[in-house]
């Protein structure tokens, strides 16, 4: 065979490998993200808020001002709402179309992770990284939820992927040297900062700050001149290295190297037009609420009780990357050993570590803490997972050989705990669903099968078995477990009881408001809630509730047990309790209050409303 034929054959094989790996990543992520995506109702509280905000904006034909329950919503910028509005326009209003944009963003993020893994660590490491991110617990949750998390993850990952693909050479085992290639050319930088501009439309300033901080941390480390700390006592060496990395001169030089003027100009050119437009349309109210209440206040105060210590985010990432997090200890040990050896992939490891470390570090400093805040670093963690799994498959780990077996043992323990805990929890909150404890068998079977294949030295088969088992575990939790839990939600029956009495009720709530009521009712729900915990405030609010019920025959109210106690003996004579149901997963009851229909036979419109609500379907249009 001639040399030309050999080259053609190799190119053909590489192309087919590229397509096979892409198809595998797409298959895993699509199956996990899309299976029964629209099955469960929207989960209170964030999902219906986001879904209905887009519903209201689409109904008004307004692409600028986000509202929920006919009131300005300042929690998040507009990109997620735009995505949902497009989905509604194409597919109609439903749970599936509300969640589909998040699923698409998550699938594309898995592809980007695969591409980065190929460039940083090699083709097979990229494949494992793409499969890992596509079957990690909290990343999948973000991709299957109607929230802006997957949107932010995609655009921030895209900016970092552009940096990697245009800056890093193809993965090699030879040590890399030089600084010239550590920042991309002008056009690439524009594309990179442009992606960050879209991330700013997804969640605000962090869309620019965090990705640039990740790249900046990588550059601070990699552009640092050689530092000799051998003459220092051991406990002074690490502080000396940290000081060298963050030395003001080195720090400012690195910041300037990243062209901050271009970063601001390009990202603001993307994001600023909408922020200006919404500021003008709301007389600055959105800007004040978003930047002050939902950015500055969350950074400086623990809002809504969401607080934690320095271990909060390390623990969160262990849960969020499950099942792949069972290799966390051997991963840390292997990566540490590789960094000490400084081969051609050390720079790639530093980049992935900087990505994860910046997110954990910055959000640990912030006062308000939620597990979802660090999900944009999961692709970076998946890159490290892909690297270590690839090394194990090639039998090229530096650490002791028994660590993978210990990881399998951890997965077995998790399966046993799930098998015992799920029936106990279901017995109290989801009676009749105790059988879901069988899901605990999936981690056990995944660990057992992988161990058997590994014992037979079929490492590739073992890793493939683990990847498939991980996808099945996570998919079963969300596609099956969430669906069964949803069957125990009863609040829609409260709405159905009201719509059975009146085709166009004037809805209000007292002391409780679940956002899903607004979405499935397809109309605003006026909220009555005491402004302060005082008897005077509570009495004044209760009086306004009674006034609401007295003013119209079509006035209806949803309240809880505390609200019923406040209103006891004060309701108009013809106002009765229409329905009473348990509040899902809470030790409380919901009550529908209003007047019964006088006619014996309900009009067709009323019957249609009731059937729609009982089928857990939103209306076609939102009625103000």
Question: Quick one: pLDDT at residue 13?
Answer: 62
The yes-or-no verdict on residue 177 having pLDDT over 60 is no
Q: Which residue has the higher pLDDT, 454 or 177?
A: 454
**Which residues, in sequence order, are CB contacts of 1 under 8 Å at separation 6+?**
9
Split at pLDDT 50, 70, 90, the class of 7 is low
Question: Quick one: pLDDT at residue 5?
Answer: 56
Return the percentage of the chain with pLDDT > 70, whole number: 95
- Interval 143-156 mean pLDDT: 97
Q: Which residue from 595, 544, 551 is spatially nearest to 566, judged by alpha carbons?
A: 544
Question: Quick one: pLDDT at residue 9?
Answer: 62
The yes-or-no verdict on residue 2 having pLDDT over 60 is no
Give the 3-state secondary structure of residue 233. Answer: coil
Split at pLDDT 50, 70, 90, the class of 203 is very high
CA end-to-end span of the chain: 75
Cα–Cα distance list, 555 to 33, 542, 570, 576 (Å)? 41, 15, 16, 12
Q: Are 162 and 119 in contact (CB under 8 A)?
A: no
The yes-or-no verdict on residue 241 having pLDDT over 80 is yes
Residues of the chain with CATH 3.40.190: 491-614
Instruction: Give backbone dihedrals phi and psi of 147, rounded to 5 degrees, phi first.
Output: -135, 165
The yes-or-no verdict on residue 163 having pLDDT over 80 is yes
Beta bridge partners, 591, equal: 559, 580
Split at pLDDT 50, 70, 90, the class of 43 is very high
Split at pLDDT 50, 70, 90, the class of 10 is low
Question: Quick one: pLDDT at residue 225?
Answer: 83
Question: Quick one: pLDDT at residue 401?
Answer: 86
DSSP secondary structure, 330-392, as one string: HHHHHHHHHHHH--TTHHHHHHHHHHHHHHHHHHHHSSS--GGGGGGGHHHHHHHHHHHHHHH
Taking each helix axis from N to C terminus, what angle separates 378-393 and 346-365, rounded to the nearest 10 degrees?
A: 140
Question: Quick one: pLDDT at residue 60?
Answer: 94
**Which residues, in sequence order, are CB contacts of 216 under 8 Å at separation 6+?**
254, 255, 258
The yes-or-no verdict on residue 48 having pLDDT over 70 is yes
Question: What is the C-alpha separation between 622 and 55, in angstroms, rounded?
Answer: 7
511: left (phi over 0), alpha (psi -120 to 50) or beta: left
Question: What is the C-alpha separation between 17 and 12, in angstroms, rounded?
Answer: 9
The yes-or-no verdict on residue 414 having pLDDT over 70 is yes
**Which residues, in sequence order, are CB contacts of 446 under 8 Å at separation 6+?**
323, 411, 465, 466, 469, 470, 472, 473
The yes-or-no verdict on residue 175 having pLDDT over 70 is no
Task: Report the sign of the C-alpha dihedral through residues 31, 36, 37, 43, in that order.
Answer: negative
For residue range 52-95, list pLDDT tens digits in order.
999 999 999 999 999 999 999 999 999 999 999 999 999 999 99
Instruction: Please report where in the chains the tokens 């006035």 appear, as a residue.
Output: 555
Give the 3-state secondary structure of residue 203. Answer: helix
Question: Quick one: pLDDT at residue 179?
Answer: 47
The yes-or-no verdict on residue 348 having pLDDT over 50 is yes
pTM: 0.94
Question: What is the C-alpha separation between 202 and 156, in angstroms, rounded?
Answer: 10
Q: What is the CATH number of domain 491-614?
A: 3.40.190
The yes-or-no verdict on residue 406 having pLDDT over 80 is yes
The yes-or-no verdict on residue 424 having pLDDT over 80 is yes
Return the percentage of the chain with pLDDT > 90, whole number: 75
Q: Is 237 exposed, middle or buried (0-12, 13-18, 19+ CB in 10 A)?
A: middle
Q: Which residue from 237, 365, 358, 248 is spatially nearest to 299, judged by alpha carbons?
A: 365
What is the chain's mean pLDDT, rounded? 91
Q: Mean pLDDT check: name the lowest of 98-112, 256-270, 603-617.
A: 603-617
The yes-or-no verdict on residue 602 having pLDDT over 60 is yes
For residue range 500-548, list pLDDT tens digits in order.
998 889 999 999 999 999 999 999 999 998 877 778 888 899 999 999 9
- Helix, strand and coil in the chain, % to nearest 5: 65, 5, 30
For residue range 187-200, list pLDDT tens digits in order.
999 999 999 999 99
Q: Which of 435-444, 582-591, 604-613 has the highest mean pLDDT?
A: 435-444
Q: Are 530 and 545 in contact (CB under 8 A)?
A: no
Residue 136 is classified by DSSP as -
Q: Are 321 and 94 in contact (CB under 8 A)?
A: no
Going edge to edge, which strands form the sheet with 576-582? 526-528, 506-510, 555-560, 589-594, 576-582
Task: Report the sign of the C-alpha dihedral through residues 426, 429, 430, 432, in that order.
Answer: positive
- Interval 278-302 mean pLDDT: 91
Question: What is the C-alpha separation between 108 and 26, in angstroms, rounded?
Answer: 8
């Amino acid at each position: 065979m001639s040399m030309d034929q050999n080259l053609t054959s190799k190119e053909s094989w590489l192309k087919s490998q590229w397509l096979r790996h892409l198809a595998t990543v797409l298959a895993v992520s699509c199956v996990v993200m899309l299976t029964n995506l629209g099955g469960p109702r929207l989960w209170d509280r964030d999902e219906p808020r986001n879904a209905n905000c887009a519903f209201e904006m689409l109904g008004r034909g307004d692409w600028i001002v986000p509202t929920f329950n006919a009131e300005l919503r300042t929690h998040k910028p507009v990109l997620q709402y735009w995505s949902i509005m497009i989905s509604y326009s194409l597919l109609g209003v439903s749970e599936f179309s509300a969640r589909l944009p998040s699923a698409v963003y998550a699938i594309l993020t898995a592809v980007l992770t695969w591409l980065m893994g190929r460039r940083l660590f090699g083709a097979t490491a990229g494949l494992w990284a793409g499969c890992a991110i596509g079957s990690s617990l909290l990343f999948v949750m973000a991709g299957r939820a109607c929230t802006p998390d997957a949107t932010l993850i995609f655009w921030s990952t895209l900016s970092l992927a552009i940096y990697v693909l245009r800056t890093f050479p193809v993965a090699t085992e030879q040590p890399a040297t030089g600084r010239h290639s550590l920042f991309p050319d002008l056009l690439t930088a524009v594309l990179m900062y442009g992606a960050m501009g879209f991330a700013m439309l997804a969640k605000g300033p962090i869309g620019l700050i965090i990705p640039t901080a990740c790249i900046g941390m990588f550059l601070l480390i990699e552009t640092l001149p050689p530092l000799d700390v051998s003459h220092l006592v051991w406990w002074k060496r690490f502080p000396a290295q940290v000081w060298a990395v963050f030395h003001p001169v080195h720090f400012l030089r690195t910041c300037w190297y990243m062209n901050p003027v271009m970063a601001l100009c390009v990202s603001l050119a993307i994001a600023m037009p909408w922020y200006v437009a919404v500021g003008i349309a709301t007389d600055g109210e959105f800007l004040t609420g978003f930047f002050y209440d939902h950015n500055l206040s969350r950074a400086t105060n623990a809002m809504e009780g969401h607080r934690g210590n320095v271990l909060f985010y390390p623990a969160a990432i262990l849960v969020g990357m499950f099942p792949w997090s069972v290799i966390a200890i051997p991963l840390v040990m292997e990566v540490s050993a590789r960094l000490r050896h400084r081969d051609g992939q050390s720079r790639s490891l530093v980049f992935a570590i900087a990505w994860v470390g910046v997110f954990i570090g910055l959000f640990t400093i912030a006062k308000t803490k939620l597990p979802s805040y660090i999900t944009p670093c999961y692709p970076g963690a998946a890159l490290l997972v892909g690297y270590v799994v690839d090394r194990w498959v090639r039998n090229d780990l530096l650490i002791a050989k028994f660590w993978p077996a210990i990881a399998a043992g951890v997965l077995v323990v998790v399966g046993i705990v799930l098998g015992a805990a799920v029936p106990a929890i279901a017995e109290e909150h989801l009676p009749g669903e105790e059988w879901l404890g069988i899901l605990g068998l999936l981690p056990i079977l995944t660990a057992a099968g992988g161990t058997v294949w590994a014992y037979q030295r079929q490492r590739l088969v073992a890793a493939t078995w683990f990847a498939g088992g991980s996808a099945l575990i996570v998919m079963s939790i969300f596609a099956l477990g969430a669906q069964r839990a949803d069957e125990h939600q009863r609040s829609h029956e409260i709405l159905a009881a009201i719509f059975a009495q009146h085709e166009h009720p004037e809805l209000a709530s007292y002391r409780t408001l679940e956002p899903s009521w607004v979405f499935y009712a397809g109309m605003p729900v006026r909220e009555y809630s005491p402004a302060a915990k005082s008897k005077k405030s509570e009495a004044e609010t209760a009086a306004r509730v009674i006034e609401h019920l007295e003013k119209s025959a079509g006035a209806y109210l949803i309240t809880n047990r505390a609200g019923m106690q406040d209103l006891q003996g004060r309701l108009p004579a013809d106002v009765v309790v229409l329905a009473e149901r348990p509040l899902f997963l809470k030790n409380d009851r919901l009550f529908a209050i209003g007047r019964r229909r006088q006619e014996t036979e309900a009009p067709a419109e009323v019957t249609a409303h009731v059937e729609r609500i009982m089928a857990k379907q939103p209306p076609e249009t939102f009625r103000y």
